[in-house]
Structure 1
């Protein structure tokens, strides 16, 4: 199934039921009196986080979600039935914005968490509410108030342990195919992934982590160019970033150092928090180099970048060096998790 990470929906809470005019005319109660009941409150709309779904694709087909209207009041001081609330299931990690203002209404990050997004209308009052010593036969009532209607922007942030950064054709999709069951499109010509991909990397039966491959970032992504701005946010929750660089690009493409600097600058422009995350340099496509020149070529890139963090050399196409990287990632994440638990 294709991953869909954004959707726009309309939520409509139920209107409150109206109050009614009524009078008692019963045997043995000679003067009777007003007995018009109140209406019922309108139902509200809630979003509920669930682990059973992991995409917003269903909201492309069901865009309107309505709660039930409150029932009107009745005679004999009978109150109308409250409208049923509407509960809309969304994936864990969904960010909710009010579409017109852009205001963040909340984020659902734990299973079972609920968020009120449209308040139901308040019930109207029946004429029995208005009786007094000087108004024995009140005719006035009030109508129920309208329920809230609004458009919502839903945005799902991928929850992954490791995120892949790199220009288009850096080999991110090839890497995630090599180490997981994910099967993003790859080809022997330059193109970019259009949708995020998640892959579970199992280093053994009891140890695994989740890797996210996002569309390639291009220069100007932090300002809205290409798909980078739309998907850089998906890396905000990752514990580790892998910065992939093509060590043997096409002649018409930027050099490895220039490519790496583009990504570094875009990440810094996008978010200080993202720029400060642990980031490893992964020099990919070493199979395209002469074996005797791999070490010197890669070292020249590292020196020119003045890279201080870990560096890995691999070929996602042939698999050479990939599992050394995966085991190092697993060890890093386990140490990080242990530190958090302590």
Structure 2
């Protein structure tokens, strides 16, 4: 399923039904008694959170939404039926903006949270409300038009752990091996095209969420590559894991730039994100000797000039994964 995290849509409340002009004729009397019922109100449009949704894909092809119109009033003082309300479902972490008035609604943070965005029009009045029997048809009988708004919707994924790294560093493998995610894994750059969300279960009650975003490359903050577009989805994380492919560490002249490159992009993008707690995860240790692993870690500690926790794992072989997962859980709790 394609990941869509922002869109614009047009919403329109249902039109109110017309009131009815109708009279009840009483035999042997000259009176005509008004008995026209009121029109039903038009339906409203609500936006509601659904925890089972994590993308705005439902709005990719359909951009205009209209609630049901109210029914016209009937004789014998019967009111027309109200139009049905329309509920549009969005993920948790959705923010909505009224584009014309430049107003942001409150963020939808919990499952089943909802916002009333547009109201349907009121139904017109039937002539049962008036004593004069010869009143002429006027606007008061007509149902009102529903509200109409053009809105901008965006989502920010809520996740406790964020994964960062260069393309093909093993982030997708880490996510698939340590969570319920079924993310695609392959041996080429940019396998991850959109953010992927997974839940890690230590027990039924002990769990935490992880988000993997596309790989960060040089000058990502200038909109190069894929990662910068989705860095915003790390805003709500409590801990960021930098996944490093140790097998590529000696290919370049100074691979400490791997880490510095990511830190630099975070700093340029948003300082608050840069200041979040960070751990370094040395991945794919099953493919390199212990002597080289020790040398690389010493190099990181010497040149990075930032005191960060360092873990060495093999995601695919699940080596040292359990300790890391339990340490993450303890950090969060």
TM-score of the aligned structures, taking structure 1 as reference length: 0.81
Give matches, 1:222-233, under 5 Å: 222-233=221-232
1:22 is displaced (CA, Å) by: 3.8
Is residue 143 of structure 2 the alignment partner of residue 141 of structure 1? no
Q: Which residue in the other structure is 1:337 paired with?
A: none
| Contact 2:249–2:255, Cα closer than 8 Å, also in 1 | no
> What secondary structure is seen at the aligned counterpart in 1 of 2:105?
strand
Q: Which residue in the other structure is 1:338 paired with?
A: none
Q: Which residue in the other structure is 1:298 paired with?
A: 297
Is residue 21 of structure 2 the alignment partner of residue 21 of structure 1? yes
Q: 2: distance between equivalents of 1:45 and 1:206?
A: 36
1:130 is displaced (CA, Å) by: 6.2
Is residue 108 of structure 2 the alignment partner of residue 108 of structure 1? yes
Q: 2: distance between equivalents of 1:28 and 1:43?
A: 43
> What secondary structure is seen at the aligned counterpart in 2 of 1:184?
coil
Change (3 A) 1:28 1:89: farther
Q: 1: distance between equivalents of 2:186 and 2:31?
A: 89
Q: 2: distance between equivalents of 1:192 and 1:178?
A: 16
| Count of residue pairs brought into register by the alignment | 331
| Contact 1:316–1:322, Cα closer than 8 Å, also in 2 | yes
1:194 is displaced (CA, Å) by: 0.7
1:206 is displaced (CA, Å) by: 5.3
Q: 1:53-110: CA deviations, max 9, x gaps?
A: 4554444466554321112234454433221212233333333344677753343222
Q: 2: distance between equivalents of 1:148 and 1:162?
A: 41
Is residue 311 of structure 2 the alignment partner of residue 330 of structure 1? no
Q: Which residue in the other structure is 1:339 paired with?
A: none
Q: Which residue in the other structure is 2:119 paired with?
A: 119
1:277 is displaced (CA, Å) by: 2.0
Q: 1: distance between equivalents of 2:184 and 2:254?
A: 24
> What secondary structure is seen at the aligned counterpart in 1 of 2:138?
coil
Q: 1: distance between equivalents of 2:78 and 2:253?
A: 76
Give matches, 1:217-256, under 5 Å: 217-249=216-248, 255-256=254-255
Q: 2: distance between equivalents of 1:188 and 1:254?
A: 23
| Contact 2:92–2:157, Cα closer than 8 Å, also in 1 | no
Q: 2: distance between equivalents of 1:236 and 1:100?
A: 27
Q: Which residue in the other structure is 1:180 paired with?
A: 179
Is residue 4 of structure 2 the alignment partner of residue 11 of structure 1? no
RMSD: 3.3
Unaligned 5+ runs, structure 2: none
Change (3 A) 1:309 1:83: same
TM-score of the aligned structures, taking structure 2 as reference length: 0.82
Q: 1:136-192: CA deviations, max 9, x gaps?
A: 632142222221344544444333221101221222112223323434333344334
Is residue 163 of structure 2 the alignment partner of residue 164 of structure 1? yes
Higher mean Cα deviation, 302-311 or 45-54? 45-54
